[in-house]
Structure 1
Amino acid sequence: MFLGLASAGTSAHAQVAPTSGGTIEGVVRDAASQQPLANAQAFIVGTGIGASTSATGTFRLTNVPVGTVEVRVRLIGYAQATRSVTVTLGETARVEFALQQSALQLEAVVTTGTGTAVETKKLGNTIGTVDVAELRSAPIQTPTEALAARMPGVMVLPSSGVTGGGARIRIRGNASLSQSNNPIIYIDGVRMDNGGSGFGGTATSRLDDIDPTSIERIEVLKGAAAATLYGTEASNGVIQIFTKKGAQGNARWNLDYERSQLAYPGDRVAPNTGFARTPEQAALLSKLYSQKITPFVPFGYNVTEQLYETGYGNVVNGSVAGGTERMTYYVGGRYQYEDGPFTSDKLGGLAADIARRTQTSMNLNIFPREKINIGFQSRYTLLHSEVPQGGNSIYSPYAQAMYARPDMGYCLDDNGVKSIDAIAGNGRCKRIGNPFGNTLSNTVRESLQHEIYQDGTHYTGALSARWTPSTEFNFDATLGLDNTSMRAVSFWPFGNAVDRFSLNAPDGSRSVDDLWQQNITLDVKTSWDRQFTPAIRSTLVVGGQGFITHQRNEGGSNRNFPGPGLEVVGAGNTPSVYEGLVKVVNAGYFVQEQVGLNDWIFGTVGARYDYNSAFGESAGGVLYPKASISVVPSDRPWWTSGLVSTFRVRAAIGRSGRQPGAFDKFTTYRAQAASTGGGLMPDNLGNPDLKPEVSTEIEAGAEAGFLNDRVSLTVTNWHRKVTDALVQKQFPLSGGFTARQLANIGELEANGWEIGLNGYVVNKPNLSVDLFANASYLHQNVVSLGGAPPIKVQGSYVRIRGFIKEGYAPGSLFGAKIMAPCSSYGNPAAQAKGGCLKADETPFTLGTTGRAATKAELLAALANPINPTNLKLLRADDNGNGDYLDHYQGKPMPDWQGAFGGNVRVGKRWKVATLFEYKTGNYTITNLTDAFRNASPTLGRNKMAATKVEATLLNPASTAEQRYDAAMKWLGLVALSPYDGANQNDPGDMIRWRELSLTYTAPASFASRIGASEMQFMFAARNLMLWTRYPGTDPEANWGGVSNSLSSNQVDNNFYESSDTFALPLPRRFALTVRLGF
């Protein structure tokens, strides 16, 4: 599968018209190897008659009009081919196609953002396409994984290594500061829920509710220049999913079974370390951890590995497709079960990581009369998910495992007294205790008593109709419904303090959240396509689109149950309930005109006018225009270059927007309970002038095919400017409204490059090799906040140092910096206004002097044991403004990201495919995990470097020089208040071996023994290796996951990214699959 290329199928393969005529049978092969090509689209030009090829490369077209017709075949990775065939009434004509491999396919057909099907070469903007059928051998479980690393400019951000967790998707960065940056998602023309939901820091994604095996292709619009016709909300990009359809002919059955194993990499979470202070403690710890421990000599025990197991998964998938003259059908079903590599079995608990989805899909096309096509699509998913508490939570079992200080471990006897006789060894107690040395909230075993699960249903259905009165006119209408219902539960049972340590609701608690969302879509359009003269062709599209989104969110919580066995919210004594309702209505109409000149110069202009219920009363509607041009000089007869076989240049400009939250324009009040009766308090100030933020994007680029299109290069440069950006602003408090109010006062800019390189290196009968690489560059800048002060991500939580600040990329990191030597500055007077270290000075200060201690003074102070906590450091204030926490420390998104890999086919049976993904360039990860583990006196100092420092400083036998050396090492470890930001931001540059697969296609004679027409065996692996400078758990781990897109203030969800906060690493997955076709 080539990455970064526009690819396509055609809707023709699913459309037939009941009419008398003849039949065409054909076969499609690779021109070099003569191997049959499956899933190629064969159709009659200018009609709706078509079919896809079988595993043997054959196709059959029936009811073909009598006379000479043109048969065209398209397949991703190959140049399209056309043959003229003469059809006789009641007879069968035969035709053969030998397709040439092509790294550049400008004739590929796309439909997203164009209003009608159009060849890629006619567009001035880029549309990324993933042909999911080509990914059958790839180790993907979800549509999100199908998108990851497939095209430049699209970034998939996983949350952590917990099974079932959804990922955020960002297209060309962030186009909004305060509103959701999730791209909008359509499936077969129906708007669907593009968010996620769940408890415990791990949200499931609604995109991943879609059965990936039912998808034919995914088209991605990357910005406003391409997404104008989708109007408001499209500034973050559009993902359009096209599902598989049937074709006229006998039923074709497919059956797959996959068995997989999952495991966490054993080298990403460092062991917990500590040291004994006395011989007595050393004896106790030696027995507890079954190893020889000596006072003041650091030892280790990996507590996190107690939560690891080998996970497993099963996937069963089946489908059938076929059709008659009057109806075609596709019906599929998939069952997926995965028990991930997290476990509570070793220690005993309720927490689990289980994901189960039952998915069904159906696609019917009915042809009641010639020129009329009625379609019905239906998809239903039943979801169950169980996850351990995650995210930045002290109640998370793996947070507690990483917090654990083994030198603080102990066991309790039957009387609840610490006793060496209560120790079983190997990190276990005979009965109860705190064997891993947890110091806050829970023991690891107690945290495992927390049960978090989610159950839900997701239905998407559509009714569509097309009337084609002539070859020039098409009328299309789609009415669709997307309905999700999710119920999430967080439950601590009565008596969860099994080690007599926890004070967190030991009598139990329960929280329930019910989230229901419905999207209704209506899309109506007509197109007129006419060749006015031999040189001029015109395509006009006019239409309207509207959707209504309803969301209801309600739930409650309670705690302190009177006894065991009570598992309902009403059983506690401190009830709390909530309820929220949201309704958003959006409607717009659009027009687009495309003119082609001699089939090599194409110009397009269009516009959409939008109304949205979230716009303020005085805002009215908004107009989003677009224009583009595409020039393909290589299509002209005078183009004779032997090196550059295909060449195109293009440019586009367009606008789109993002509306405010549903209630942001209103003045609202909230209820205030009191013992003497309820009351009202000011809540939202309201703003009747609120309007959408407007994103204007310009892109330009070129495609070139070399050596008869065996090698291709695609380059795109884009620039985006967001005006009227919605920013939270504090208005005067005299009116009683203390909350900040949205206002259209901000401005953002971004620009970037997207590059794709693809090539067929070898193409011989028994060997073919194709290679690919892509890269995207991203630069973002907050131009103005309209007078508002910098906005901090995660509000008052001081340890998170992300800010939205003018002149910097959104989410940039600022924090403390330890005072540095004057020699490290080029101009200390200007660059270190708050002071710097002179020769022989250290950044330590003694007593209350407030000045830098010399080495001699520090050595004298270190003559006796000292706790690292008592080593006071001087913080830098380089700009001299008195703010010690405003030093720039990096940004959370890389300058460059991309992928590379290839496919190798050996003989007729074997195929190897691989994919690597990389991120690099000014890429900074907030490593709160190691900040705590290195610096916290109660929750950390349990990584080897920090343990050695503390042991040396506290050891009475250490010399002053040894303690001085340890203190110097402490400079690279100290973190957390009052040094927030220091030593917690690390480079995240990485290369990950994302995918590897080996596929064997059995001979037809072997498959026929069980009645099958085709049989494949596949071994695949995902997340095999990671090469990175990042010292933490995983550079792709994130505290936050996919969020609810309708939340009004999305600052935290947008910019709390690249934050590794007690997360599990991404697991490795190995799978064996058997595929059968009948």
Structure 2
Amino acid sequence: MRKILLLLSCMLLVFAPALYAQVHPVNGKILDENGSPVPFASVKIKGTNSGTFADAKGIFTIPLKEGAVLVVSGIGYIPLQVTVNSNELAITLKTDVQSLNEVVVTGLGEATSRKRVPLDIGTLNAKNIAKTATVSIEQGLQGQIAGAQITQNNGQPGSGYNIILRGINNLISSDPMVLVDGVENKDLSSIDPSIVDHIEVAKGAAAGMLYGAQGANGVIQIFTKKGSRNQRPNITFATKMSSDKILRGDRSLVASKHHWKTDEQGNILNSEGDILKADANGYWEDPVEDLDVDASNDKPYLLPTYDHLKQGYRDALTFTNSLSITGGGNNFDYAFTGSRLDQQDVFSNKFNRTSLGVNLGIELAKGLTIRSSTQAILGFDDLLGGNRFNLVNSYPFIDFLHKDTTGMIVRKAKNENQLNSLSERQWHDRNNKSTKIYQNFNVNYKFPKFVELDFKYGYNVRNADNYSFYHNQESAVTTELYWGPSIDGAITDYYTRNTYQNALTSLFFRTDFKQDFHLNVPIRTTTQAVYDWRAEDNRFFYAQGVGLPTFPPYNLTVANTKTVSDNNSSGYNYSTRTFGFLVNQSIDFAEWIGISGGFRSDYSSEFGAGSKATTFPRGTIYIRPSEFMKLSWLSDWKLRGAFATAGTPPDVYTRQVTLDAGTLGVGGVSLSIPSTAHNNDLKIQVSKELEVGTDISVLPTTGDWLSRITLGATYWKRKSTDAIQVADVAQSTGASGLISNLTTLSSHGVDLSLDITTANKKNFIWNTAVRWGFTKTMVDKVSNHQTVVSGEFGLKEGEELGIFYGQSPLHSLDQLKVDGKTPYIDPADRSNYTLVNGNVVDTRTNAAKLTAADDLKKIGQAYPDFTASLINTFTIFQAFTVSFQFDWTHGNNTYNLTRQWMYRDKISRDYDDVINVNGKSGAYAAYYSSMYNTLQPQSWYVEDGSFIRLRDVSLTYDATRLIHARWLKRLSVTLGGRNLLTFTKYHGLDPETTTSVDSQGSSLDGVGAFKGVDYFTVPNLKSYQVGINVGF
């Protein structure tokens, strides 16, 4: 018996390792650093192609041998190798800071690894937003997305931004679609930057069509901060103060000397021959011009002169404060946010915004989650008009802060039909109160296999109450000009209520042939079907009372004349409805290759109930050669391509005949047709876009320097047909123009994004990012092949979009007229002309000679050849972080309309410049005055608008280690500056803040020009900032 037992024991010892090495099930749970599950993480057996995926709760089961090694990875986490030594595993993955941008949401909410995204999607995380970008999300996006041109309209608070993501797609608007947590939102500028978790930008139609017919201009998606499950409350408080002042360029706008008639002592004379001086109320007559052709602008001012920019703009302060509380339990998470922005205006007024947010997520049952996101934004401003035309375009000896005999600031300071804008705040009170509520709901259910259902609903309400009160000005010293519609005062109330709804119902059907069907084929498929419904309603009401008493109370009741309206230049009522269907099928073979294809069909109320759907197809492909090559230095390499068609619908009611209503006599009603006729044959503007590109990440060294280089490169081309434009029509039609589909545009460009881990040492980390984008849009066709001229711009077949079009000085003595035969200067008369700095000048008058009014040509280009950014971030001793960002815009021109207006009054700084005419030198006023050309577009005022700007610089010190307290998680102090340096040849105040207006400041539409003209625009602000961030 003992021998038998001994034999069995020996056999057990011999076979025990073999028995132990048999396959047995291993259960595991994958969590992040906060204890929250990492859903759908990949679990692979090292050295094999076998593996599995975790479920939505991070749980997995896999058959393994003891001692096997698992490679666990999740999107956005550092891969981890785990040696199996038990049947139950608890695995914690750390966030991979290097790959935070590696997850994007394509389509309508489908999270996908960037390695398998076949489109060029720009991404920006909250941690990478410039420290000085605290006022708006657009500030944070500037320079961060390759190819995107994002410029602030002007330096006033709340002025908004001009955004061009990928060239010009149509002639009416370049505005992209904005989504917040997957639901469309109409107001990007009002969203508080402190609630942003990350941002994704789909730049063109190839990606934008997934979001509806309105996505042809591209899409900006905002993802708000959320809490984390099983996390204790995390409290963060941030405060920042900024000192702001306008950018002023590197030279004065105004000449330092003059050429007016003077007496023997050098005193400027008036038309009566007396010494020029102001009257008791600060009013100045015009000086008398010296009409001698040799009059030189070299006389010094003996009068006191004033810095009108200093009088018109003050230094302003901006304060931002924000508080967030995030956390969660076993099956829920929460995020509470609040912020306050108080921004002084450089015009002595103010703007403030209070934002409150709640983001709650709950898992009601296995696979069933509900999320609610609420944002309430309360705004107030008392901003007055920012027009500084009268100040900038005035004689330097005028004191615009002069008090008249009644103690009020001078209203009319010179002989011109212009009021002193600094006097407005004494006669005009206004305020705008706004309330904005953004409510998003999301219900998501993941079936145990295959099917996922997702429903999103957004309800946005925006109310604006604008009050304007012009005091009775009959007691003012100057009464021929007054503020407001009447000298006896007026009260105006505007009220606007806009509601926008967006409902998205999505079904995803996913299969994994290997996991679901036990086939040895690594194919994964996703079928996506979406129903998208949108509704917008706008309610506008206006009431005005004119003729107020000189004593309170001031209200509409006491006004002499009362007017009400719900349709005028300030607003109107409208309702629109759209709905559509998206179907998309994607197939991925392992991690090697993937294709997708689908279509979207949309219906719009603009086309009526019986209209047909507009259907747009799409297709994408990606190939990852790095999966075949398996090179140690090649981290990832992807080739990608995409094609799509997208559309831009006509504006509201432009396909319907509408009438304007007014009053007629007493109790009567008048009807009239609009000056621009609508067109029921209008079609959707269609864009067809192809993009091809590559994303590659290499590991040049295994050391601390140049450890990773990542490049994204994209070439794209697009054709836009049936672009909507206003066509001239015969006066007999009763309209000045007809809205029609008239123009065809073609565009192409290249976008490059380069990210380098320059150094990654224990006490020194250096990251570099470069963004570069080139785009060109050509006008292929204009109806009837006519050149359309609007303001300073021309729309001409065969030329680039956004050209300046006008006259120019003659540049040769034998230059021919527009007929190509007749010379401008008779050969017999050419001895009286010479060239001065390349311009033909009459030596008898010192005046330049210009081309004829019918001889118009391209004289400049508003859009740049390319834009680029250089961003560097240094972390030193794990405590100091230094970052700076340079933005470069190159190859564009700016039409300096401000300078042209200053030529009218002969006060431009140019008048100080000495020229040589046929051997005689002087700052000849006749030469410069001849360039004025009665404000018609002229090449003399087209300047190089290129610039390099130090957009952002900051120094952050992490002081957490200085305070040893368990309750303190972080404490940091930041010093920063924005727009501190600008390198440019431009002679105006700021080459960046330009607009699209004519010589009188009226907005231009229909020529595809959205910027390029400097018309007394409020410049950008130079800011110095200090901020503190505390975490508990």
Aligned counterpart, 1:741:
738
**2:150 aligned with 1:156, yes or no?**
yes
- 1:433, CA displacement in angstroms? 5.0
Q: State how far apart, in whole Å, the 2-side matches of 1:451 and 1:497 are.
A: 17
After TM superposition, the structure 1 = structure 2 runs for residues 2-17 of structure 1, keeping only pairs within 5 Å, are none
Aligned to 1:201: none
> Contact 2:691 / 2:716 at 8 angstroms: preserved in 1?
yes
For structure 1, which runs of at least 5 residues remain unmatched after alignment? 1-20, 28-38, 49-60, 194-205, 344-351, 391-395, 417-429, 794-799, 845-851, 860-870, 954-958, 1042-1048
Change in 2 beyond 3 A, CA 1:960/1:485: same
Output aligned runs, 1:219-298, within 5 Å. 219-248=200-229, 249-267=231-249, 270=252, 272-273=254-255, 275=258, 277-278=262-263, 279=265, 281=267, 296-298=299-301
The verdict on how the C-alpha distance between 1:246 and 1:1053 changes in structure 2, with shifts beyond 3 A counting, is farther
Q: CA deviation at 1:581?
A: 1.3
> What is the root-mean-square deviation in Å for CA atoms of aligned residues?
3.8
* 1:368 alignment partner, SS class: strand
3-state SS in 1 of match to 2:299: coil
Secondary structure at the aligned position of 1:1055 is classed as coil
CA contact (8 A) 2:401 2:422 kept: no
Q: Which residue of 2 aligns with 1:998?
A: 955
**1:247/1:329 contact within 8 Å kept:** yes
Match of 1:472 in 2: 450
Q: Judging changes above 3 Å, is the alpha-carbon distance between structure 1 residues 780 and 223 closer, same or farther for their aligned structure 2 residues?
A: same
- Cα-to-partner distance string for 1:768-807 (whole Å, 9 max, x where unaligned): 11111111111111222222744444xxxxxx31233322
User: Shift of the alpha carbon at 1:147?
Assistant: 1.2
State the alpha-carbon separation in 1 of the partners of residues 497 and 169 from structure 2. 27
- Distance verdict in 2 for CA 1:575–1:817, change over 3 Å: farther
CA contact (8 A) 2:602 2:613 kept: yes
| Equivalent residue number for residue 418 of structure 2 | 441
* Contact 1:41–1:73 (8 Å) recurs in 2: no
2:352 aligned to 333, 356, 366, which one? 356
CA contact (8 A) 2:689 2:719 kept: yes
Q: Give, in angstroms, the shift of residue 664 of structure 1.
A: 1.5
The residue that corresponds to 2:1025 in the other structure is: 1071
The DSSP-based 3-state class of the residue aligned with 2:447 is coil
The answer to whether residue 322 in structure 2 is matched with residue 365 in structure 1 is no
Which fold has the larger relative contact order, with Cα–Cα distance below 8 Å and residues 6 or more apart in sequence? 1
- Work out whether residues 413 and 431 of structure 1, in 8 Å CA contact, stay in contact via their aligned partners in 2: yes
**Aligned to 2:940, what secondary structure does the other structure show?**
coil
Conserved? CA contact 2:977–2:1024, under 8 Å: yes
TM-score (norm 1): 0.79
Q: Which structure 2 residues correspond to residues 557-956 of structure 1 after superposition, within 5 A?
A: 557-565=544-552, 567-568=554-555, 571-573=558-560, 575-579=562-566, 580-615=572-607, 620-636=612-628, 638-640=629-631, 644-675=634-665, 677-683=668-674, 685-707=677-699, 710-731=708-729, 734=732, 736-787=733-784, 789-793=786-790, 800-822=791-813, 835=824, 839-842=830-833, 855=843, 857-858=844-845, 874-877=849-852, 883-884=854-855, 886-921=856-891, 923-933=892-902, 935-937=903-905, 941-946=906-911
Query: Do 2:696 and 2:712's aligned partners in 1 also have CA atoms closer than 8 Å?
Result: yes
Q: Secondary structure at the match of 1:1051?
A: coil
SS at structure 1 position matched to 2:532: strand
Q: Which amino acid aligns with 1:719?
A: K
- 1:1030 aligns to what SS in structure 2? coil
Residues 886, 948 of structure 2: 8 Å contact kept: yes
CA distance change for structure 1 residues 567 and 150 in 2, over 3 Å: closer, same or farther? farther
CA–CA separation in structure 2 for the residues paired with 1:918 and 1:668 = 46
- CA deviations over 1:45-77 (Å, ceiling 9, x no partner): 3599xxxxxxxxxxxx997647569754554xx
Give yes or no for contact 2:473–2:482 (8 Å, CA) kept in 1. Answer: no
Q: Deviations 1:506-564 (Å, cap 9, x if unpaired)? A: 43344433222111111001112212242322111111111001112332445443325
Residues 65, 87 of structure 1: 8 Å contact kept: no
1:527 aligns with 2:508: yes
Matched residue, 2:979? 1023
CA distance, structure 1, for counterparts of residue 688 and residue 490 of structure 2:
49
Q: Which runs of 5+ in 2 are unaligned?
A: 1-26, 44-54, 63-69, 269-274, 288-296, 514-518, 567-571, 701-706, 998-1002
Deviations 1:636-686 (A, max 9, x none): 2x343x654432211110011011122112122333543384333334654
Q: 1:822 to 1:41 in 2, by over 3 A?
A: farther
C-alpha separation in 2, matches of 1:1072 and 1:239: 29
- 2:291 maps to none
- 8 Å contact kept, 1:618–1:688: no
Task: Report the alpha carbon displacement of residue 834 of structure 1 after superposing the two structures with TM.
Answer: 5.5
**d(CA) in 2 for partners of 1:645, 1:410:** 65
User: In the superposition, relative to structure 1, how do residues 238 and 411 fare at CA in structure 2: closer, same or farther (>3 Å)?
Assistant: closer
Whether the aligned pair in 2 keeps the contact of 1:257 and 1:1075 (CA below 8 Å) is yes
3-state DSSP class of the match of 1:678?
strand
Letter paired with 1:488: N
Overall identity of the aligned pairs, in %: 21
Summarize the Cα distance change of 1:286–1:628 in structure 2 as closer, same or farther, 3 Å threshold.
same
Instruction: Within 5 Å, give how 1:510-549 maps onto structure 2.
Output: 510-532=491-513, 533=519, 534-549=521-536
Partner of 2:8: none
In the other structure, the counterpart of 2:704 is: none
Rounded to whole Å, the distance in 1 between the matches of 2:97 and 2:208 is 33
For 1:480 and 1:42, locate their aligned partners in 2 and report how far apart those are by CA, in whole Å: 27
Counterpart of 2:797, as a letter, is E
**Structure 2 vs 1, CA of residues 139 and 667 (structure 1 numbering), >3 Å: closer, same or farther?**
closer
- Give the corresponding residue for 1:328: 333
1:296 shift after superposition: 3.5
Query: Offset at 1:874?
Result: 3.5
Post-superposition shift, 1:448? Answer: 4.1
Q: In 2 relative to 1, CA 92–1003 (structure 1 residues): closer, same or farther, beyond 3 Å?
A: farther
Residue from 1015, 1023, 1026 that aligns with 1:1061:
1015
For residue 555 of structure 1, give the secondary structure of its aligned residue in structure 2. Answer: strand
Judged with a 3 Å threshold, the aligned counterparts in structure 2 of structure 1 residues 559 and 932 are, in CA distance, closer, same or farther, namely farther
Matched letter for residue 593 of structure 1: Q
Paired letter, 2:883 = A
Between the aligned partners of 1:507 and 1:109, the Cα distance in structure 2 is: 62
Instruction: Flag the 1:1052–1:389 CA change in 2: closer, same or farther, 3 A.
Output: farther
CA distance, structure 1, for counterparts of residue 312 and residue 94 of structure 2 = 56
Tell which deviates more after alignment, 565-574 or 828-837: 828-837
Code of the aligned partner of 1:738: A
Give 1:183 shift. 0.8
What is the match of residue 185 of structure 2?
Answer: 192
Give the aligned residue type for 1:1072: V
Q: Distance in 1 between matches of 2:198 and 2:29?
A: 28
Question: 1:181 aligned to 2:156?
Answer: no
Which residue of structure 2 lines up, in the alignment, with residue 386 of structure 1?
A: 382
Shift of 1:356: 0.5
2:38 to 36, 43, 48: 43
What is the one-letter code of the residue matched to 2:471? Answer: P
Instruction: Tell me if the contact between 1:409 and 1:435 (Cα under 8 Å) persists in the aligned partners.
Output: no
